[in-house]
Amino acid sequence: MSLEPYVKKALRVALAEGASDAEVYGSRARSLLLYVDDGKIKNVEERMDQGLAVRAIKSKKIGQSSITLATVRDAEICAQTAIKLANVSAPDPVFKHFAPSIKGSPTPITYDKDLASLSQEGICSLANDIVNSAMEGGEVKVPSGIIRAAVSQNMVLNTSGAETEGRSTMLYLHFTAMTEGTDPGEGVRFHYSNKLPDLDCVSFGVGLRNSAQEAQRAEHFRGQERMTVILPPNELADLLLSSVAFSLSAENVNKQRSAWAKKMGERVGSVQFNLVDDPFDERGMCSSGYDDEGAPTKRKELVDRGVLKGFMYDQYNALLSGKESTGNASRRDPTDPHNAYRRPLDIDPINLVWEPGSKRLEGMVMEVERGMLVDKLASAEVNPITGAFGLEVRCAKEIVKGEVVRTIDHALLAGNFYQALMGIREVGREQTVVRNCILPHVAFDDLEVIGA
Amino acid sequence: MQEILNKAVERMRSLGAEFCDARWQTMEKTLIVVVDGGVRTLSDDRLGGVCMRARVNGSWGYASGVDPGKDTVLDAANRAVRSARSGSATGAPIPERKARHAKVKATLRTHPSQVTLEDKLALVFDAERSQRVGPQVVNSNAMYREDVRNNLLCNSLGDELEWEEVRLRLIGQAISSDGSNTEMYYDGVDGSGGFELIKAVDVNAFGKRIGEEAVKMLQAQKAPSGPITCISDPMISGLLAHEVMGHASEADEIVKRRSFLTDAVGKRVASEGITMVDDGTYSGAHGYIPFDDEGTPSSRTVIIEDGVYKGYMQSLETAAQMGVPPTGNGRAEYYGRRVWVRMTNTFFEKGDMKLEEMLEDVKHGVLCDKMVSGMEDPVGGGFEAKALRGYLIKDGEIAGLLRSFTLTGKALDILQTVDAIGDKVELDGGTCGKGIEDWIPVSSGGPYCRSTIVLGGG
């Protein structure tokens, strides 16, 4: 049974129960997962789920409900519960209607039939190729790994006439490798794509092995100094999502929590800082023609040559600000399509792209007088309100006069990310897909590094 | 439902599973978020589904879905066994034991379902409104969440278990601004139990303090950088217990030698006086569970005793592999996620010093106040914790408020430098991931602890 009968039933019930406006979001996902444990295939899992989320407005009050869908009765319960909550809520003068029906641009192709039909034998073969490549030579083992291949579909229907559908595939890998012996080094590698041919298992495994061997060579950083720091895409993504994406959200602008709330048209970074949200880039894990309220997505300049150009809006915050939705209402998780109906609608970039620079990574390193090229941070996050960060560097290459001189660890990288954006030295040429971002390496000048 | 699950267990056994279990789980969540005087979210979330798990030659197959119908469940049982046969891992068989039968309701006075939504909403409005203590509070937020889980488990050991878990949280967060600086303060209440947990809170005083502290944060200074004497508060002590020593004591990391605590049993890993436990039986704590998701009763596991390392947390599988009893730490986020070895309530036991006594001896140091986040490092034993704020200590006295900073260092080095332990344990509830996924309810904590840690302020 397709999602449509459930979605339509829930909308009908919401209206019958007295809703003046209602919106129903439905999603279904099927995934094949594989876990590697200590170099062996430990778990193989099949997972299927489907569910609905209903938002209903009654007497200017809003209620929300979500439910897993086993029968049509669940769709009825979901709608009735949303009305029950709306009955006891407080009036909200802002939310008069849901996203209107607007035809968007053609939806990008993020569905790969080979990935959608990946078999148990196929996923085991991918895992074995990665593990064998990583463990070649016998110096490295693979303690853990996950491969998640999924296919998902979603549908949005509301009383303003919006009716959208989408489907996509997703391939997500996260592996660790470890050197043998005392004081081992650990390396980590991720892969994000929506098409099977994007994955090169041998190259992934070799990269995994190299990262573990680099980590084992690391010496503890000593002292305290300011230097140039090159951040890789995988760490930059989390830093950007926890700070810049937060400050670009109209919800946080309206709540005055955004550090950039009053900076529209002003400089928020160096001229190399160019950010767009591009939902039509087919490499993007969440790329789509419509958001999860059924509003058409748009390619948006967010920061152009360091100048703030735009915020991201959902329907609610667009109404609150007297603007139009930019199609950034999202329930998506770029690593797991399951349970999307349970996630709250949030303003998120659909596909945040930092425009590439001109230099390859080697060229960026050559121009650094004193600095480090980070491979792995403990946890890449920024205080979104203040921009403050203190990040434990788990593995990095130390650079002196344009050359890598050694590998270091146990350093604390401290500063303020919003200020750091003003000191961008260089932006790399090659981009990598990480979560809902496509990013290059970026070099920041004058960051504080503290050792033991 | 139990009959269907038992049939699924029979099916998996008949297809060759050496061990198997079948779980049905429902989760009902209510979320109320009030922001700046308006209801931003009033939502209800109902999740229900089944998970079949089969073990063949040391590899696991899982099949999960949302349809509890007999045919679908039996088909999932077939698929779980087929998936298990795809694996290549080996392992010791899970030993037979006497079957357990139990039905456990949550221990509480007022089930949250007995409280009207109107009453809950009024309480959250009060918790938000009272934060607005002046014009410098530019954004005020209060969130109430209740989480009721019902679990039904049957397995090939003959267990038939049914239990309920109820958890509640109330959190307030205020944002302050003076036009140039923006800061934040939060506080919260959490635990396993009934609505009495929330009713015990004076929500107006709770909100007012959050607003006042957010305004004070505007005067906070940058923290010093480098190695320094640090008094960790119960939240930061808890992060050290949970993130580094706890994750590295999960036996699934031990059996594959991915933990810096592999082979550590019997060795001194901390100063004398330091004792650390994981205690799933801790009634009322956020990580309390009557059974883990494999049906093993929760227990109190001593990890460090008086500075000496004692042992690991176990699932059925790791216990079989290491030849020890399971400790009730095999947990899954929900029916659609795999079982890992996970913590419950993890904390350092109390010492005998008052905080004032701990401050007296410090010439130059920092006192932490609340945490933002922390990150595990089972391989390297590195500690990273972000404190919400702290106080500068000069000559034994509090000398100023510090804004958010990060603490780092090698956990074993830090624990060897602990020279003072507070006389009261506090626990803080939250969720914990295994790596970057699989979030489960836990708590962590401890007393105030004084040690030497590397600090970096942003």
- A421 to chain B: which residues are within 8 Å by CB? none
Cβ of A49 under 8 Å from any chain B Cβ?
Answer: yes
Phi, psi for B204 (deg, rounded to 5): -70, -45
List, in order, residues 6 or more apart from B369 with CB less than 8 Å away. Answer: B233, B387, B388, B389, B390, B391
Domain check: are A231 and A286 in the same one? Answer: yes
Q: Do B403 and A224 touch (CB under 8 A)?
A: no
Please report, for the domain that includes residue B203, its CATH number: 3.30.2290.10
Domain check: are A311 and A382 in the same one? Answer: yes
- B451 to chain A: which residues are within 8 Å by CB? none
Cβ of B377 under 8 Å from any chain A Cβ?
Answer: yes
Closest residue, chain A, to B178 (C-alpha): A256
A349 phi-psi bin (left φ>0, alpha ψ -120 to 50, beta other):
beta
Nearest to A433 by CA among A233, A287, A149: A233
pLDDT of residue B377: 85
Last residue of a domain, one of A216, A231, A251: A216
Could you say which residues of chain A have pLDDT below 50?
Answer: none
DSSP type of residue A232: P
What's the rounded Cα separation, in Å, for the pair B279 and B142?
30
Mean pLDDT (chain B, rounded): 96
Q: Do A383 and B437 touch (CB under 8 A)?
A: no
What's the rounded Cα separation, in Å, for the pair A399 and A405?
6
Domain check: are B253 and B390 in the same one? Answer: yes
Bridge pairing between strands B59-65 and A40-58: parallel
Q: Give me the number of domains chain B comprises.
A: 2
Least confident of A21-30, A93-102, B171-180, B408-417: A93-102
| Residue percentage of chain B with pLDDT more than 90 | 93
List, in order, residues 6 or more apart from B135 with CB less than 8 Å away. Answer: none
Domain check: are A357 and A440 in the same one? Answer: yes
Cβ of A119 under 8 Å from any chain B Cβ?
Answer: no
Domain check: are A93 and A70 in the same one? Answer: yes
Question: Which among A66, A68, A390 has CB closest to B457?
Answer: A390
Cβ of A394 under 8 Å from any chain B Cβ?
Answer: yes
Q: How many CB atoms lie within 10 A of CB A224?
A: 16
Which positions 386-415 of B are in contact with A (Cβ < 8 Å)?
386, 403-406, 408-410
Question: Can you tell me whether residue B83 is helix, strand or coil?
Answer: helix
Domain check: are A237 and A169 in the same one? Answer: no
A241, A416, A447, B96 from A384: Cα distances, Å? 9, 10, 18, 51
User: How large is the average pLDDT for residues B198-214?
Assistant: 98
Cβ of B381 under 8 Å from any chain A Cβ?
Answer: no
DSSP type of residue A119: -
Domain check: are B273 and B136 in the same one? Answer: no
Take residue A185 and report the two structure tokens written for it.
């080094």
Q: How many CB atoms lie within 10 A of CB A154?
A: 25
pLDDT of residue A283: 96
Nearest to A313 by CA among A347, A279, A345, A288: A347
- A389 to chain B: which residues are within 8 Å by CB? 406, 458
Is residue B232 scored above 90 in pLDDT? yes
Domain check: are A223 and A211 in the same one? Answer: no
- A386 to chain B: which residues are within 8 Å by CB? 181-184, 403-404, 458
> pLDDT, tens digit, for every residue of B245-302?
999 999 999 999 999 999 999 999 999 999 999 999 999 999 999 999 999 999 999 9
Domain check: are A131 and A56 in the same one? Answer: yes
Question: Can you tell me whether residue A376 is helix, strand or coil?
Answer: strand
- B382 to chain A: which residues are within 8 Å by CB? 378, 392, 394, 409-410
Is residue B457 scored above 80 in pLDDT? no
- A178 to chain B: which residues are within 8 Å by CB? 258, 379
Q: Do B458 and A386 touch (CB under 8 A)?
A: yes
The residue segments making up the domain with residue B107 are: 2-219
Q: Do B59 and A41 touch (CB under 8 A)?
A: yes
Q: Do B456 and A412 touch (CB under 8 A)?
A: yes
Domain check: are A195 and A241 in the same one? Answer: no
- A450 to chain B: which residues are within 8 Å by CB? 225-226, 454, 456
Nearest Cα of chain B lies from the Cα of A92 at a distance, in angstroms, of 7
pLDDT of residue B458: 61
Domain check: are B335 and B212 in the same one? Answer: no
List, in order, residues 6 or more apart from A95 with CB less than 8 Å away. Answer: A57, A60, A62, A315, A316, A319
Domain check: are B171 and B295 in the same one? Answer: no
Question: Which among A90, A186, A344 has CB closest to B379?
Answer: A186
Per DSSP, helices labelled H in A243-292 are 244-248, 250-254
Q: Do B456 and A335 touch (CB under 8 A)?
A: no
Last residue of a domain, one of B192, B219, B246: B219
Q: Give me the number of domains chain A comprises.
A: 2
Last residue of a domain, one of A216, A234, A255: A216
Domain check: are B271 and B331 in the same one? Answer: yes
Which positions 220-249 of B are in contact with A (Cβ < 8 Å)?
225-227
Q: Do A66 and B59 touch (CB under 8 A)?
A: no
Last residue of a domain, one of B199, B219, B239: B219
Please report, for the domain that includes residue A111, its CATH number: 3.30.2290.10
Domain check: are B178 and B323 in the same one? Answer: no
Q: Do B64 and A46 touch (CB under 8 A)?
A: yes
Phi, psi for B105 (deg, rounded to 5): -90, 155
Q: Which helix (H) or strand (E) holds A226?
A: strand A224-231
Last residue of a domain, one of A216, A240, A266: A216
Domain check: are A183 and A260 in the same one? Answer: no
The residue segments making up the domain with residue A9 are: 4-216
Last residue of a domain, one of B219, B236, B268: B219
Domain check: are B99 and B135 in the same one? Answer: yes
